[in-house]
Amino acid sequence: MNHSSMFSSILLLHSLVRWLVLLSLLFSVYRGWKGWREKKDFTRVDNSYRYWTVFFALSQLLLGLWLYFISPIVQYFLHDIKATIHERDARFFGLEHIVVMTLSVLAIVIGSEKIRKKSTSPEKFRTMFIWFTIGLLLILSSIPWPFSPFTSRPFFRMY
C-alpha cells in the first residue's frame, strides 16, 4: 500500500467511524437522561452502551492521530506554523480539530471511569448523562460538517 492510498483509506475510516461515535454517544446520553429521570436500574445493557461509546471514541482518536502524521494539510500546517496559523483549513486540522477532539475523548473516558466507580444507579445515569453530553457537544462543534463555518468536508466519503 503506498502512502497516498493509505492516507485515503484511513481518512475514509475516520469519516465513517464518526457516525458510530455520534450514534453511540446519542444513545448513551438519552439512556443516561431517561434512566436518571425515571429512576431505573443501571443494567448490563446500560453498561454496554458505556463500553461501546468509549470503544468508538478511542478508536476514532487513534485513527485521528494516525491521520495527523500523514495528512498533507497537517504537514503543510506544521512546515511553517507562523504563516499557516492564519489559514482557516490548515489551522483547523493542524490545531483546532486535534485539541477539541482530544478533550472530548478525554471527557468520555473520564466520564466512563466515574460511571464505573459510582455505586448507585441514579448516580451512574447522571454521570453518564453529564460527561457524555460534554463529549458530544465538543465533538459536534469540531466536526468539519458540510455546513460548518470553519471548514467543510462531506457527510460521507465514497472512495
Interface residue list for ligand HEM (CB under 6 A): 11, 14-15, 18, 21, 57, 60-61, 64-65, 67-68, 71-74, 93, 97-98, 101-102, 104-105, 139, 143-144, 153-154, 157
In whole angstroms, the minimum distance from the beta carbon of 71 to ligand HEM comes to: 3
Report the residue number, 18 or 31, with the smaller CB distance to ligand HEM: 18
Residue nearest to ligand HEM (CB): 64
CA distance 60 to 47: 20
- Least distance between ligand HEM and beta carbon 65 (Å): 4
At closest approach, how far in Å is the CB of 1 from ligand HEM?
A: 17
DSSP secondary structure of 13-48: HHHHHHHHHHHHHHHHHHHHHHHHHTT----HHHHH
Distance CA 124, CA 130 (A): 10
The label of the residue with cell 497537517 reads 74
d(CA 73, CA 112): 33
**Shortest distance (Å) from residue 132 CB to ligand HEM:** 13
